[in-house]
Amino acid sequence: MGFYDVLQQWRSFDFNGFFTEVSATSVEAILAKENLAPLDFLTLLGDAAAPYREAIARRAFKITRRQFGNTIRLFTPLYISNYCENVCPYCSFGCRQTIDRRTLSLDEIESEARAIAQTGMRHVLVLTGEAPAKTPLRYLADVVDILREHFASIALEIFPLAGDGYKELIGHGVDGLTIYQEVYDEYLYKGYHRGGPKEDFVFRLDAPERALKENMRAVTIGPLLGLAQPVSEIFFAALHADYLWKKYPAAELSVSLPRLRPLVGEFKQPFYVNDTQFVRMLIALRLFLPAAGLTVSTRESADFRNNIVSLGVTKMSAGVSTAVGGHLDSSSVGQFEIADTRSVQEVNCDLLARGFQPVMHDWNSKLS
């Protein structure tokens, strides 16, 4: 049984009805537990848990320090192509957006890699649009071969691959995969993706497991908050992580909580997640998934990231550009507008000032 089958079991779940039955007593009973069940996690997302936010946050802090110490792992994205065949209205790279398109040459990859490495960063996340003809597997393998000379860990955030595709890139040195389902509500998903390879809901949903079957070391998943009802989306993302964790216990699993940011075009965001809701999701996730990584990106402001770093966060991006070739040339259109524009050095200094140890090198794929 794959995760799609698990998702189908919850398809008709009455979230509103569930929350009408939740009481303060229910929340207190959950906080007395060591291990949470899925509905325990859901309970912590409801209004009845709001008065207990401080208690949940204190527990999230203790769990995170026990599991991860005072370390925050840092990485930076490297955008290598913005060609895309998908009709995604919420993304600046969508094929109907009028932007300049570009795929970096291998020489440009080398230059970008050198610029990033000079900051001390040793974990890089490679991103493309979904246009396999523009960034075929052979090209991606060549990119990874170049990056291995500069980075200890190379992760991908690209179009979903078949298992043999992941196997080939792992063989070249890839050790991580980030892939967002974007929307776990299948009906809404199909409404957002009316053209391009992203139309296939199940193929995307199963991508993390295909990678893990080929021994991918680390996988990060999550929803794009703002496209669907936030509580149900984060609930399904947590179920997805829990499913993968139980099936592949040796893997490093992380959940990311990206919120929609301004982009090219006139897309109107249908749902909003305010800062209070975001924090409630973050600390509830920590209690439900005590050993999972929790990533907060530069979609969030510097002040907000500084304020929540102690509440369960384990990974952060730094020195970010969302434009193709953006570490050397900022003239291209970015995938979205970032909120935290700090350099790697500035992020390091802010973390140290708050008692955290920034880690830019804790894994080396060359030695695996």
pTM recorded for the entire structure:
0.94
In b/e form, how buried is each residue of 29-65, taking b as 16+ CB within 10 angstroms? ebbeeeebeeebbbbbbbebbeebeeebbebbeebbe
Kindly state the tokens that stand for 172. Answer: 């070249």
Residue 333 confidence (pLDDT) above 80: no
Q: What's the pLDDT tens digit per position in 30-48?
A: 999 999 999 999 999 999 9
What 3-state class would DSSP assign to 194? Answer: coil
Q: Identify the H or E element spanning 105.
A: none
Determine contact, residues 321/127, Cβ cutoff 8 Å.
no
Place of tokens 């979903």: 160
Q: What angle do CA 203, 207, 213 make, to 5 degrees?
A: 125
pLDDT of residue 99: 83
pLDDT tier for residue 327 given thresholds of 50, 70 and 90: confident
Determine contact, residues 46/22, Cβ cutoff 8 Å.
yes
The average confidence (pLDDT) of the chain is: 93
pLDDT of residue 335: 73
The stretch 259-266 carries a mean pLDDT of 74
pLDDT of residue 362: 67
The stretch 53-82 carries a mean pLDDT of 96
What does the domain layout of the chain look like in residue ranges?
3-367
Q: What angle do CA 104, 108, 110 make, to 5 degrees?
A: 125
CATH superfamily of 3-367: Aldolase class I (3.20.20.70)
Residue 146 confidence (pLDDT) above 70: yes
Residue 336 confidence (pLDDT) above 90: no
Of residues 367 and 69, more confidence is placed in: 69
Q: What's the pLDDT tens digit per position in 198-257?
A: 999 999 999 999 999 999 999 999 999 999 999 999 999 999 999 999 999 999 999 999
pLDDT of residue 232: 97
Residue 334 confidence (pLDDT) above 70: no
